[in-house]
Amino acid sequence: MSGNGEKPVHTDSGIEIQPVYQDTGRDPEPAPGEYPYTRGIYPTMYRGRPWTMRQYAGFSSAEETNKRFHLLLERGQTGLSVAFDLPTQLGMDSDDPIARAEVGRVGVAISTLDDMRRLLKGIDLSKVSTSMTINAPASLLMLMYQIVAEEQGVDGSQLSGTVQNDILKEYAARGTFIFPPRPSMRLITDTFAYCQENLPNWNTISISGYHIREAGSTAAQEIGFTLSNGIAYVRAAIDAGLEVDEFAPRLSFFFNAHSNLFEEIAKYRAARRMWAKLMREWFGAESERALKLRFHTQTAGSSLTAQQPLNNVVRVAYQALAAVLGGTQSLHANGYDEALALPTEEAATLALRTQQILSTETGVADTADPLAGSYFIEELTDRLEEAAWEIIHEVEDQGGAVVAVERGYVQDQIADSAYAWEQKLQSGERVVIGVNRYQSEDEDAPIQLHRIDDDAVSRQIARVEDYRERRDNAQVEAALDRVEATANGGDNLLPVMKDALQTGATIGDICGRLRGLWGRYRPTV
């Protein structure tokens, strides 16, 4: 307890921070690269290989996004990360009357194979790792990527990347779902099985705590609910007949980096240790690769402020530092203008430079787990692990993550935390510089913002309409019939969906058939 009449200080998860930490006689953690991987999944971490620097990009047109990809690659980015627009995320085509107002607004519009070809034009897919932030129609976007790679002459065994494919967090925290949970879980396990045979180096899911945190969870809840979702995916894959040591090495995670530096570092260490124990003790995994939690990190979008936006440059740098000190495998740093619009070229370049400076000038990559042995970090790691285990057991008592989401339990817990945070902000107990302290009547001069190209949106809609006119509609309908028949049975859906895409079916065509069969998920809580 805090002494001398001091007011207690707590982390976001409610853990009281002591004025000083002393050695409690705990056994030292095993070295980096050794079970349970608290200190990192590789022995030398970034001394052997720097983290992958991914800058998330997606604009109104495939051409504009492709241009940004080439720019970032030329400036030293080492991996691509694709943001899709809202219609694409919901399995709707750009020419759908319901979708038109949102085409290209928050990412790139991809409805057809031609769209994917334009998105990836001039990029050697055998030499780049690509992450795609897509969930409900994730398998379809991944298949499009594979088809374009094959057209380049690149075999599936040469492809590397990640598809987010994490539907449970969509129900709990984000909302871009299409189908009910159980058929959605089938699509996920079908993707696991398909990739095991056809895309062996592809990460089949990125189990995302990022959006859980963005919705208002604490750091402890981010760990607990994310790992609970991971447990559900592992169980579903085992129930589908897959071997844990074969599919688990392709599971990856996606975490948030908030501004409480030390709690964030401890969060990553605790999550790694917990996942290793879960995989070994709950599921009997024996392969080292199946035990290791590999994760991507993005700095916290919800921490960015529209007020005094240049302050976000500093926030992002500290958040990126936390991710690196916590041992991330790849990182996206947000642009300082993202509270106002999609990032400009200047903001995206500065965000990339932030990572490059961190990697090459600060010395943080010189040793693995540089804060190991800190009384404060070690205690925070232990306390966060304790809190996260409590959450996992509460989810298990509900019947597991799928049932907990269906009952609204997870959503309610996150909403309660978000409300508590907002109350602290309003009361001034929680300080956000420029928002509720150090406001200025003479704010920063207006900054240049990215503007949506409405002409590009119109061209995208026209291209989809033209694509329909040029294809063999009878052949497409026959392929869609096969998709529906397979969805009614038990065979893997991905081969027939790939065939449908190659005949000219769109994302909306295939998702429409599946919606007709499985229904559309509508929350009941």
Instruction: Please report the domains of the chain, with CATH numbers, ordered by start residue.
Output: 45-427 (3.20.20.240)
Pairing of strands 160-163, 129-133: parallel
Q: Is residue 329 predicted with pLDDT exceeding 50?
A: yes
Q: What is the structure's pLDDT at 319?
A: 98
pLDDT-derived band at 77 (thresholds 50, 70, 90) equals confident
Q: Is residue 452 predicted with pLDDT exceeding 80?
A: no
Q: What is the structure's pLDDT at 22?
A: 67
Q: Is residue 343 predicted with pLDDT exceeding 70?
A: yes
Structural element, H or E, at residue 267? helix 261-277
Q: What is the structure's pLDDT at 204?
A: 94
For 214, half-sphere exposure in the C-beta direction (CA atoms, 13 angstrom radius) is: 20
- Give me the chain's average pLDDT, please: 93
Higher per-residue pLDDT: 6 or 401: 401
Q: What is the structure's pLDDT at 416?
A: 97
Structure tokens at 197: 């045979």
Over the stretch 125-165, which tens digit does the pLDDT of each residue have? 999 999 999 999 999 999 999 999 999 999 999 999 999 99
What DSSP string runs through 25-84?
-PPPPPPTTSTT-TT-SSSSGGGTSPPEEEEEE--SSHHHHHHHHHHHHHTT--EEEEEB
CB atoms within 10 A of CB 454: 11
SS3 132: strand
What CA–CA distance (Å, rounded) separates 53 from 59?
19
- Whole-number percent of the chain with pLDDT over 70: 95
Q: What is the structure's pLDDT at 525?
A: 56
Q: What is the structure's pLDDT at 302?
A: 95
- Mean pLDDT, residues 159-172 taken together: 95
Q: Is residue 1 predicted with pLDDT exceeding 50?
A: no
Q: What is the structure's pLDDT at 217?
A: 97
Pairing of strands 251-257, 295-299: parallel
Q: What is the structure's pLDDT at 24?
A: 67
pLDDT-derived band at 446 (thresholds 50, 70, 90) equals low
Q: Is residue 419 predicted with pLDDT exceeding 80?
A: yes
Q: Is residue 5 predicted with pLDDT exceeding 70?
A: no
Q: Please report, for residues 35, 160, 199, 204, 291, the alpha-carbon distance to residue 250 in angstroms, rounded to integers and kept in the order given.
A: 18, 11, 10, 6, 11
- Mean pLDDT, residues 361-372 taken together: 92
Over the stretch 178-229, which tens digit does the pLDDT of each residue have? 999 999 999 999 999 999 999 999 999 999 999 999 999 999 999 999 999 9
- Whole-number percent of the chain with pLDDT over 90: 82
Confidence (pTM): 0.91
Structure tokens at 120: 């990836």
Q: Is residue 445 predicted with pLDDT exceeding 60?
A: no
Q: Is residue 444 predicted with pLDDT exceeding 70?
A: no
What CA–CA distance (Å, rounded) separates 108 from 451?
14
Q: What is the structure's pLDDT at 21?
A: 67
Q: Which of 7-21, 274-288, 341-355, 476-490 has the lowest mean pLDDT?
A: 7-21
Q: Please report, for residues 10, 35, 266, 296, the alpha-carbon distance to residue 263 in angstroms, rounded to integers and kept in the order given.
A: 10, 22, 5, 17
Q: Is residue 17 predicted with pLDDT exceeding 90?
A: no
Q: Which of 30-44, 164-178, 349-363, 445-459 has the lowest mean pLDDT?
A: 445-459
Q: What is the structure's pLDDT at 61?
A: 84
